[in-house]
Amino acid sequence: MQARLETDDLQENLSRVRALLREAERLAELRRALDALHAADIAYILEALPLAERLRVWDLVKADRDGEILVEVSDAVRESLIASMDSAELVAAAETLEADELADIAPDLPAAVIQEVVQSLPAEERERLREALSYPDGSVGALMDFEHLAVREDVTLEAATRYLRRLDELPNHTDQLFVVDREQRLKGSLPLARLIVSDLELDVARVMVPEAVTLHPEDPAEDAASAFERYGLVSAPVVDGQGRLIGRLTVDAVVDYIRQRSADSQLAEAGLLQEEDVFAPVLDSFKNRWAWLAVNLVTAFIASRVIGAFEDSIAQLVALAALMPIVAGIGGNSGNQTITMIVRAVALGQIQESYWMKLLAKEIGVALLNGVIWGTLLGAIAYALYGRIALGGVMALAMILNLVLAATMGVAVPWLRVRLGRDPASGSSVLITAVTDSGGFFIFLGLATVFLL
């Protein structure tokens, strides 16, 4: 391009350069601001930005913090960040992580990257990674870390304290040291709060306390979370089959797990396969949602065929078409109340085998009470609207029967699932709504066909 010599052009060039410089300064400022933030806060910002802006901010984050931030962001956003990085960047990021953190993000990393990282790990870390990856989601092993401090029972508190002082700082959430014997078998624990107030001449064995809760890596995470909640724990040791200390579970991992579980059940309830990036492309959102819609279309189609079987009745008395969704709807709502309460009680371990019949009797009692009250009300309204007393009676009777059906299913579905050893929560809402919809249409239209036509 030829140099332009008019003063205006020079002026223009100058102001463009200055504008770019100002922008560069602002970027440098943004970079500094990001440097000062906690990894979790940067993760939050990345999650709240649409893709293009998210990736621009991601570029500004210092490379040596990439790893810790990838651990913090949600699965959906992590995928979008990893997709923007090349192998070398991913390897560098992964190498900054502890074995348990690496295991958390490993499912999202390309296999080649994992292989390269594994090869660069020292033998002990490699073994830990292998171990962390070997436990399924939802087990204590998948949540535990390896940053525990262990002391031998036959040393003095003085020696234990000297050992701690040689460390630059203690791992996060160290509220206790684990006491082990020569074979690394767990003997008890030495809470820091006790170490501080005790006479340093004493032996660890004299001051240690029995461990409140000892976990195994294959224990369900849910049970461990309950124990943390019940006993207000900060950390708990994880031991293998021989009672040897292999890791620990800390309350921050438990809090993450509880939040994630509650989010998952909320999402599953609404029919989303997984947490969705709010700014995901339309196609990604579609993939996350179609399965549930398909299931519901099938159940809606079945209900539709039930109605189809009564088309003659509806043709004779078209009021039935207007009234039938009320009967079906209230059954679904009431059934969901029952099943939600029972699924929660099962999860909390509050229902013993011998109480199911008692529970069924109670739920049918509630259903009858609801049925009589709302059935009478709606029956009266149906009579007022259509002037046929028998229609009101059929309406009331159908509501009572559908509520009893809902209550029975609301108890029977979780009972059956518990007996079959399945999770009583999963899909229970779809199932009960399907039954009360089709059942409600069948009961109402069937009664109407028998008594009204």
Give the residue carrying structure tokens 């009589």: 372
Instruction: Using CB under 8 A, pick the residue from 239, 330, 394, 400 that binds a copy of itself.
Output: 330
Residue 423 as a binder of a copy of itself (CB under 8 A): the answer is no
Q: Tell which positions 203-232 bind a copy of itself, by CB under 8 A.
A: 228-232
Question: With contacts defined by CB under 8 A, how many residues of the chain interact with a copy of itself?
Answer: 115
Residue 206 DSSP one-character state = H
Q: Tell which positions 162-181 bind a copy of itself, by CB under 8 A.
A: 164-165, 167-170, 172-175
Instruction: Using CB under 8 A, pick the residue from 129, 323, 397, 413 that binds a copy of itself.
Output: 323
Tell me the C-alpha distance between 395 and 372, whole Å: 11
Q: How far is the CB of 197 from a copy of itself (least distance, A)?
A: 5
Query: Closer to a copy of itself at the Cβ: 289 or 388?
Result: 289
Query: Closer to a copy of itself at the Cβ: 192 or 452?
Result: 192
Query: Closer to a copy of itself at the Cβ: 117 or 314?
Result: 314
DSSP assignment of 47-116 equals: HTS-HHHHHHHHHHS-GGGHHHHHHHS-HHHHHHHHHTS-HHHHHHHHTTS-HHHHHHHGGGS-HHHHHH
Helix-strand-coil split of the chain, %, nearest 5: 70, 10, 25
Residue 56 as a binder of a copy of itself (CB under 8 A): the answer is no
Instruction: Using CB under 8 A, pick the residue from 195, 238, 246, 396 that binds a copy of itself.
Output: 195
Residue 255 as a binder of a copy of itself (CB under 8 A): the answer is yes
Q: Which stretch binds a copy of itself (CB under 8 A): 27-35, 119-127, 135-143, 325-333?
A: 325-333
Residue 340 as a binder of a copy of itself (CB under 8 A): the answer is yes
Nearest to 245, CA basis, from 171, 184, 182: 184
Q: How far is the CB of 45 from a copy of itself (least distance, A)?
A: 10
Q: Tell which positions 380-399 bind a copy of itself, by CB under 8 A.
A: 381, 385
Burial class (CB in 10 A: 0-12, 13-18, 19+), 153: middle
Tell me the C-alpha distance between 334 and 432, whole Å: 10
Query: Closer to a copy of itself at the Cβ: 81 or 109?
Result: 81
Tell me the C-alpha distance between 146 and 400, whole Å: 58
Tell me the C-alpha distance between 141 and 137, whole Å: 8
Q: Can you say how many angstroms the Cα of residue 396 is from the centroid of all Cα atoms in its chain?
A: 41
